[in-house]
Amino acid sequence: MDDARLFRLLWLSVAAAVVTISLKTVAWRLTGSVGLLSDAAESVVNLVAAIVALLALRWAAKPADEDHAYGHAKAEYFSAGVEGALIFVAAISIAVTAIGRLLDPRAIEDVGVGLAVSTVASAVNLAVAVTLLRAGRRHRSITLEADGRHLMTDVWTSVGVIAGVAGVALTGWERLDPIIALLVAVNIVVTGTGLVRRSVGGLMDQALAEPELQTIRAALAPFKETGIEFHALRTRQAGRRAFVSVHVLVPQAWTVQRGHDQVERVEAALREQLPYATVFTHLEPIEDPRSYADTRLDREPASTA
């Protein structure tokens, strides 16, 4: 996915946040519902998160340089982490407001118009969220996916709030409004926790997911029939880019050229299956005991015997 299209999608998220903030604020002003107020507050968080995502993506798109030889792709994780943190802030503010209204319930006015306006705002968020989630999964962008998940959380928030406000109008039980707002706060905390966990995992060089590891093993399997082995397979995710390193053990009787040719084929096979991966290989003689001293991250000390 080209960066220009990715930026356009994030600008779409910014535009959607501005529209929904305006609509939800109108809905809150019409009804006086604390649930709708909390919904509008979360949309403000969406706007800030989208702007942070744009800044992080601009940094992540920078090419590799002497100080960052592996590129800047990890900047995307900062965006996801900030979004998760902002969701927590929104949840706290919603909970505080809801508890105040729970202790001091108030009547809701102009319910029909307010809910209609809020429903339009939710439809806007739903369309943008689905677009961002599909693009994020297809192109492995945690920034797009995080923003999409955030917007989808907002959609479910709105659904709950709309149901709560409608319930108040039908039953006259005014405390239902802040109770729904508290449930919304709990729901978005769950989403925020997931985003922060994924962001921390990426910053800590978490390995690729098991389906991708199975793809790597399947790509290497045919080469074992030619008399070579593999070990020290290590992977990590950095934003949209993945890194794969593996040691290739070949018979020591092979010439350097033959070993090099086989390594080139191994790397080509891995890149074909994982086009977003940077592949590193290390050639070793299969009969040399020292070839097995570096299967772990820290090489075993040389024997003094």
* Alpha-carbon distance values, 248 to 223, 258, 263 (Å): 10, 12, 7
Asked if residue 231 has pLDDT above 90, the reply is yes
User: Tens of pLDDT along 171-208?
Assistant: 878 788 778 778 877 877 877 777 677 777 777 778 89
**Mean pLDDT over residues 139-160, rounded?**
77
Q: What is the pLDDT of residue 303?
A: 55
Q: Sorting pLDDT into bands at 50, 70 and 90, what band is 2?
A: low
User: Could you state, in order of their start, the residue ranges of all structural domains in the chain?
Assistant: 3-203, 210-292
Q: Sorting pLDDT into bands at 50, 70 and 90, what band is 93?
A: confident
Place of tokens 């050229």: 257
Asked if residue 221 has pLDDT above 50, the reply is yes
Q: How many CA atoms lie within 13 A of 39 on its CB side?
A: 39
**Mean pLDDT over residues 140-153, rounded?**
77
* Alpha-carbon distance values, 79 to 15, 59, 147, 201 (Å): 18, 11, 9, 13
Q: What is the pLDDT of residue 301?
A: 67
Asked if residue 305 has pLDDT above 50, the reply is no
Q: Do 210-292 and 3-203 fall under one CATH topology?
A: no
pTM score, whole prediction: 0.63
| Pairing of β 241-250 and β 277-285 | parallel
The second-level CATH assignment, the architecture, of 210-292 is 2-Layer Sandwich (3.30)
Q: Sorting pLDDT into bands at 50, 70 and 90, what band is 219?
A: very high
Place of tokens 């045919």: 222
* Alpha-carbon distance values, 100 to 93, 109, 162, 163, 220 (Å): 11, 19, 20, 20, 61
Domain at 3-203: CATH code:
1.20.1510.10
